[in-house]
């Protein structure tokens, strides 16, 4: 997903100090951010000009201690055509030499009142999510009790109908049919809808419905972490399904492993209620209470008492 310099103004706490329409259309290609310290001393051996250059109090103080000529020369060398933008944090005054170098080299300058470390975190979080490689998976992503649940299964098994029933029960839908997922960091999987399918859900025999129009803004969510996967499959007496909840199944999506629960579907089963229970039970396990272990503990106690 392409990110341009102008996108930072709407999504991060920065404002333009110097820019043009052309400079605002520059594309940002990496989420890495550089705080140019050694570069100000003249060391450019490992300089990465394609990164956003962020200046805080330390960089600004060193820069302001230079003579006007040296300051201008360092900034001219630092500002390269591939540099997307230079950001000065803490509301620090931008020296005239920086404006001159930016105009000469065609670099936008942004300013922010935020602390440098906090601003760096905001920039990294925003750019990581926008520039991360997307993977599309088939399914329905729901927000159930604040937890992202990915419902998958064979075509026609009833995933969308289950999603609609969950919406009616007060939960929120994130995406139907196609879910775009990406690794937000090394352990977090995030999901969002394809733009063309946002807030839409397809029900066989009814067609495409707009969840937001029918059920209101509280029935939809723009994106969600994916914490649990539910796989719906037709009930078959020959298949073995987990009855104690200790199978430990999991799937890997975009390099992130998440737990998976297989749920058999047959006439008479209220799948939406079962999925609600599965989500609550998973949350309970995360909080330290495991009903399976409690059952095994009781079973062990019963066996010991019968021996006596």
pLDDT digits 0-9 by tens, 1-38: 789 999 999 999 999 999 999 999 999 999 999 999 99
In this prediction, what percent of the chain has a pLDDT beyond 70? 96
Tokens standing for 250?
């999991």
pTM of the model: 0.79
Catalytic residues: 138, 159, 177, 243
CATH 3.40.1390.20 fits 1-129, yes or no: yes
Binding residues: 153-160, 202
CATH label, 133-293, candidates 3.30.70.100, 3.40.50.11260, 3.40.50.300, 3.40.50.880: 3.40.50.300
Binding residues for ATP: 153-160
pLDDT surpassing 70 at residue 51:
yes
Specify the range with the lowest mean pLDDT, choosing from 171-175, 186-190, 235-239: 235-239
pLDDT at 92: 96
Mean pLDDT to the nearest integer, 257-266: 91
* 170 Cα distance to chain centroid: 24
* 307 Cα distance to chain centroid: 54
Q: Say if residues 192 and 175 touch (Cβ distance below 8 Å).
A: yes
3-class SS of residue 200: strand
Where in the sequence of the chain do the CATH 3.40.1390.20 domains occur?
1-129
Residues 6+ apart with CB under 8 A from 147: 227, 228, 279, 282, 283
Query: 171: left (phi > 0), else alpha (psi -120 to 50), else beta?
Result: beta
pLDDT surpassing 70 at residue 159:
yes
Radius of gyration, alpha carbons of the chain: 27
Mean pLDDT to the nearest integer, 104-130: 95
């Amino acid at each position: 997903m392409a990110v341009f310099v102008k996108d930072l103004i709407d999504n991060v706490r920065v404002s333009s100090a110097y820019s043009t329409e052309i400079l605002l259309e520059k594309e940002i290609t990496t989420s890495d951010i550089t705080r140019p310290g050694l570069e100000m001393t003249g060391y450019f051996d490992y300089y990465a000009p394609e990164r956003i250059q962020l200046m805080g109090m330390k960089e600004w103080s060193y820069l302001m201690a230079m003579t006007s000529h040296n300051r201008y020369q360092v900034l001219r060398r630092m500002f390269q055509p591939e540099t997307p933008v230079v950001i000065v944090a803490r509301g620090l005054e931008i020296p005239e030499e920086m404006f001159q170098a930016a105009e000469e080299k065609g670099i936008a300058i942004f300013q922010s009142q935020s602390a440098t470390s906090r601003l760096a975190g905001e920039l990294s979080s925003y750019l990581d999510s926008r520039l991360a490689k997307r993977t599309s998976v088939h399914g329905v992503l729901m927000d159930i009790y604040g937890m992202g649940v990915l419902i998958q299964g064979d075509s026609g098994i009833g995933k969308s109908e289950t999603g609609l029933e969950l919406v009616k029960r007060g939960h929120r839908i994130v995406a139907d049919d196609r879910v775009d997922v990406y690794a937000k960091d090394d352990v977090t999987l995030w999901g969002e809808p394809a733009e063309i399918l946002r807030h839409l859900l397809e029900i066989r025999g009814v067609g495409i419905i707009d969840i937001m129009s029918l059920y209101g803004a509280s029935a939809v969510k723009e994106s969600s972490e994916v914490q649990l996967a539910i796989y719906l499959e037709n009930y078959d007496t020959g298949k073995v399904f987990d009855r104690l909840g200790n199978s430990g199944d999991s799937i890997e999506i975009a390099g992130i492993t998440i737990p998976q629960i297989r749920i058999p579907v047959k006439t008479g089963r209220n799948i939406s209620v079962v999925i609600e229970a599965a989500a609550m039970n998973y949350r309970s396990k995360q909080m330290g209470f495991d009903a399976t272990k409690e059952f095994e503990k009781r079973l062990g106690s019963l066996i010991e008492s019968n021996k006596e």
